[in-house]
Chain A
C-alpha cells in the first residue's frame, strides 16, 4: 500500500474548479513533482495537502490515516514556501528551532538538532544571522533546514527554486535532491519549470486546468507524452497534423499531403486524422535531397551545447536540435534535407475532455 494517497481531491472556488478530482499515490521516500503552468491547480493541491485550504471533496490518506480534516499545525509536514517565509525577526537558529520548540523539545537537544541540520545544508557558520542578512540561496537552504529539522513524514516544496537566478538554481537542484536522498523524506514538489521537474523527480505529475494529464517517470513523460498538452509543456517539440494510413506492405504509417512516413511500434489503427510529435533532437539534418523531406534553414540559434535550427519544409516549420560539435554545419538560407527514424515519431491523443465540465 502506498504511503500517501490523494483520492479524488477537489477544490471549487465559487463556480470555478481549481482542482478536479485529483488521484495520486506516492511511495515512501519518493520524490514526486506537480508540474504545470500557473493556474493549473498545482499550488492549490499543495495547499490542500498542507491543510491551508480545505478540499471541497476527496480524501487525503497518509500511512492509512485520514488527514483530510486535520488542522495544518497537527499534520507535521515540512513545507518550503515559495517566498521561503522565514521569520524575519528571528535568527537562523531561532527560525530552524521554532518547530522543535513547538514540539517542546528540550533546549540542549534542540541546539544539537539545529546544529546537525544546519551542517546538512552547510550553513552552520551563519546561525546568528537574521534572514535579511543572507543571500537568496542561503535563505532557501534555511527554509529547507527549518522544514527538515522536525523530521517530517512528508516534505512539501512550493516552487522552492523559483526565486533564485539560473546558475544557482541548477546547483540547488542537485543539492536539494542529494539532501532529500540522504534524509529519505518523501517529497512532493510544485513547480512550473519542466527542466526542474524532469531533473529532480522520481515521478512527474503533469497538470493542466485542474486535471492530471499524465503521471510518469520523467523520461517517460518526455518520451511518451500522454497528450498534446504534455508533449508541448514538457520540452520542445514538433507537432505534425496528418492522417493514419497504411503503406503498401499494409503497415500503419503517417500520411501528410502526398508524403508518407513510417511509424514504429504502433499496432493497427483506424485510418483518420492524427497528430504526431517529433522531438527536435530527433530531427537530423542532412544534405539536400538525402532526407525524408527537404527544406530551407530559416533561423539559427546558438545555445552553447547545441545549435537550434528552424527549417521551412513541405510539412511545415520544423525545429532541429544539433549537438555542438564544432562550427555550425548549416547557414541561414541553406537548402537542407531533414530525416528522423520511425521510432522518433510519437502518436498523440487529443486531450481527453474531463468528465466534469466547467472548464475555466
Chain B
C-alpha cells in the first residue's frame, strides 16, 4: 500500500464532500500505528537479512559487504545442506502423518463424548499447547533418555540390554517429541471441521446399510478432510522450521535446518551463510503454504465450500 495511490485516487474523484473525505481517512488512522510498526519491525529486518545473505564471509576478516552468490550456491548445491534439508522435510512429513493418524481419530472420539468428559478431555488435549516447549521437550528427554522410564521399562521386559536404551539423538526420538508438541493442532483443526459436520449423516449412512467403519471412511472422514488438511499444513510448516525440540533431542548429531541456522549464527558466526539458509527456508515455507492452501481451496470449493 502506498499513500500516494490513495491521495491520487481521492484527488481524481469529483469533489468529494468534506465529510466523506474525512471518513475515508479513518481506516488509515486506525491501522496506521500497527502498519508502521510492522513495516519497520518486520519489513526492515527481513530486508536486511536478505541483503546480508549476499555478503561475503571470511573466517579471519569476518563479514564484508562484497556481494556474492556463493552462500546460495553452497546452500542449494552442497550435499551437506541437501542432507540437512532432506532430513528436515522427512521429519516434518513423518511427524505430520503421525499427527493425522493420532489427532484426527482423537478429535472425533472426544467430539462424540458427553458432558463433562468432552470438555475435560479437550482441555487435557489442548492444554499442553500453552505449556512451554522447553518443558515438554524436557519431559521427553526424561522419558526416552539413557536412564529414562522407557529404557527402564524395556529393560524390565528384557527387550533392551543391560546398557539401557536411548532414543536421544535419533530421528525417532525427535519425531515422538515433535508429535507430542504438535498433535494438539491437528485436534483443534479437525474439531473445527467436526463442528460443521451434521452427525446425522453418519446415522443416514448406517440406515442405508453401511458398517460403522464404512461410515467413518466414506462419510465422516471426507467431511473432516479439510480440517485434516489444514491441520497438516500447520504442522508441516511448523516442524520444518522447528528449533527447540530437534535442538534438545536431536542435538548436534541430528542437524535440521533450524539448528544449522542457529549454529551458523551463534557458533560459526558465519551470518551471511546463516542468512541465506534462513531465506531459503522462508521461501520454501511460503511456497509450500501458498500452493497447498490454494490446492485445498480448489479441491473443496464445490462440496464443502471452504478450505
Contact = CB atoms under 8 A, between A and B. Distances in A.
B208 interface: yes
Contact of A89 (B207, B210, B222): B222
A85 B208 contact: no
A90 B198 CA distance: 14
27 contacts: A50-B203, A51-B207, A52-B203, A72-B207, A73-B207, A73-B208, A73-B209, A75-B207, A76-B209, A79-B203, A79-B204, A82-B200, A85-B203, A86-B201, A87-B201, A87-B219, A87-B222, A88-B223, A89-B222, A89-B303, A90-B303, A98-B218, A102-B210, A102-B214, A130-B302, A132-B305, A150-B208
A48 B291 CA distance: 48
Given A85-B200, A86-B201, A87-B201, A77 B305 contact: no
B234 to A, nearest CB: 22
A98 B200 contact: no
B227 to A, nearest CB: 13
Given A87-B223, A150-B209, 15 more contacts: A71-B206, A73-B210, A76-B209, A86-B204, A87-B222, A88-B201, A89-B303, A89-B304, A98-B208, A99-B209, A102-B209, A102-B214, A103-B209, A130-B302, A133-B302
Interface in A25-83: 50-52, 71-79, 81-83
A279 interface: no
A119 B211 CA distance: 29
Contact of B304 (A51, A76, A85, A88): A88
Interface of A: 50-52, 71-79, 81-83, 85-90, 98-99, 102-103, 130, 132-133, 146-147, 150
A147 B223 CA distance: 21
A102 B302 CA distance: 25
A76 B208 CA distance: 6
Contacts of B204: 79, 81, 85-87, 146
B223 A50 contact: no
A150 B204 CA distance: 13
Interface in B101-130: none
A81 B203 contact: yes
B20 to A, nearest CB: 39
B180 to A, nearest CB: 31
Contacts of A98: 205, 208, 210, 218
A130 B214 contact: no
Contacts, number: 77
Interface in B136-155: none
Q: Please classify the interface of chain B as helix (H, G, I), strand (E, B), loop, or mixed, using the class held by over half of its residues.
A: helix
Nearest to B215: A73
A130 B209 contact: no
A86 to B, nearest CB: 7
A88 B221 CA distance: 12
Contacts of B209: 73-74, 76, 99, 102-103, 150
B200 A81 contact: yes
B278 to A, nearest CB: 40
A33 to B, nearest CB: 20
A87 B204 CA distance: 9
Nearest to A98: B208
A49 to B, nearest CB: 11
A163 B31 CA distance: 43
A132 B303 contact: yes
Given A88-B304, A102-B214, A50 B201 contact: no
B302 to A, nearest CB: 5
A87 B302 CA distance: 13
Contacts of A83: 198, 200
Contacts of A73: 206-212
A52 B223 CA distance: 21
Interface centre among A50, A76, A88, A147 (most CB of B within 10 A): A88
Contacts of B303: 88-90, 130, 132
A348 B214 CA distance: 53
Nearest to B214: A102
Contacts of B207: 50-51, 72-73, 75, 77-79, 147
Interface in B217-263: 218-219, 222-223, 225
Contacts of B212: 73
Given A130-B303, A133-B302, A72 B206 contact: yes
Contact of A132 (B218, B223, B225, B302): B302
A99 B207 CA distance: 8
A133 B286 CA distance: 33
A13 B305 CA distance: 38
Interface centre among B201, B302, B305 (most CB of A within 10 A): B201
Nearest to A152: B207
